[in-house]
Amino acid sequence: MRLAVTADLHGFLPDVPPCDVLVIAGDLTPAHDHDVAFQARWLDTTFRAWLQAVPAEHVVAIAGNHDFVFERAPETVPTDLPWTYLQDTGTTIDGVRFWGSPWQPWFFDWAFNAPKGDTDETFLRERFAVVPDDTDVLVVHGPPAGYGDRTSTGMSVGSAAQLDLVRRTAAQLCVFGHIHEGRGDWQLGPTRLINASAVTLKYALVDEPVQLVELSRPD
């Protein structure tokens, strides 16, 4: 299975190479306007047209910490977009099992934050507990601890609960973003970890905002 993966589009809608599944790991909407009515209109117009044109058989996506409309006014998100939106839910495509979750440790006063002061990550562990052990692709917004999680100030802000999730499921792939300057690609046992942020720290589009990944289908 050929996947095209990206994250942190922030309103940029880049060219997508032909693929079986396009995976978007959150922060879809433009960064300059967090108004939920604006975000809902943008999803229904500009984003819809882009989704309809991408050369992907399927699109799987989650929200991110800038996508307030999915948390604060989910009833206004168009229900007929040509994609599969995951929010603590999963889907199976050609035998490959995807699971998506938008939550991350508290990070400023943005969307899909765990409670501030939840140092044991109890909130996140409760949400990740329902992820099936046989998940093939994890689509999450923030990074697991130690992988693409270092900010420009030198702080590591990844989630220990998410790292435990990666180890438990031994998924083939974990796609995330959130920390733009942490963009990169790692291997942790059987799991390929990709911080697929499409923009830089200053919200400029990177040279290759969509990456191709070949994934083996389960027997």
Please classify residue 96 by burial: count the beta carbons closer than 10 Å to its beta carbon, then call 0-12 exposed, 13-18 middle and 19+ buried: buried
For residue 6, being part of any structural domain is answered with yes
* Cβ-contact 6, 211 below 8 angstroms: yes
How far, in Å, CA of 41 to CA of 28, rounded? 13
**Which pLDDT belongs to residue 146?**
96
| Residue 219 forms part of a structural domain | no
Q: Do the domain assignments include residue 189?
A: yes
Q: Residue 49: which residues within 8 A CB-CB, separation 6 or more?
A: none
Range of the domain at 38: 2-214
* Spatial CA neighbour of 213 closest among 22, 12, 36, 81: 22
84 found inside a domain:
yes
Closest CA to 165 of 205, 132, 200: 132
**So what's the pLDDT on residue 161?**
97
Residue 195 lies in a domain: yes
**Looking at the DSSP assignment, which residues form a beta bridge with residue 185?**
194
- CA–CA gap between residue 84 and residue 86 (Å, rounded): 6
Q: Is residue 57 part of a domain?
A: yes
State the total domains in the chain.
1
Question: Given strand 211-214, what is the order of strands in its sheet?
Answer: 84-85, 56-62, 19-25, 2-6, 211-214
Note whether residue 91 is domain-resident: yes
CATH code at position 82: 3.60.21.10
**Structural domain includes residue 107:** yes
pLDDT value, residue 219: 67
Q: What is the mean pLDDT of each run of 10 residues along the chain (219 residues)?
A: 98 98 98 96 98 98 98 97 98 98 91 93 97 98 96 91 98 97 97 98 96 88
